[in-house]
Amino acid sequence: MKVKLLISVLCLTTMSAFAAKHSVFFGPWQFNTEKSKNIGMMAQMKMIETVEQTDSSLDVTTHTTFQGRDEDSKTHLDLTLESRQPTNRQ
């Protein structure tokens, strides 16, 4: 009886994990120096990260201003299963 119950709970948990939606992170995110601790000189920095999310990718664009210099960078993450396949197939 306990084994059947354990298997049922495990199956339900697994099914709910597969049915769950992906977390949504899109939009602008701003670095808040007032809520940060031990950041030293970074307290002068202004940083805004803009996140764009689809089912197959996650793109993060970062704009920083520090000591009068502006910098931009972009990070692309491929979320498809094809990108998780090993590349050294024989």
pLDDT digits 0-9 by tens, 31-48: 998 898 998 988 999 999
- Per-residue tokens: 81: 């299963």
Q: How many whole angstroms separate alpha carbon 83 and alpha carbon 33?
A: 36
Q: Is 31 exposed, middle or buried (0-12, 13-18, 19+ CB in 10 A)?
A: middle
pLDDT of residue 76: 93
Residue 71 CB neighbour total at 10 angstroms: 10
Cβ–Cβ < 8 Å for 47, 63? yes
Q: Which range among 1-10, 26-35, 50-59, 75-84 shows the weakest confidence by mean pLDDT?
A: 1-10
pLDDT digits 0-9 by tens, 63-77: 999 999 999 999 998
Query: In the 8-state DSSP scheme, what is residue 45?
Result: -
Q: What residue segments make up the domains of the chain, in order of their start? A: 23-81
Q: Is the pTM of this model over 0.85?
A: no
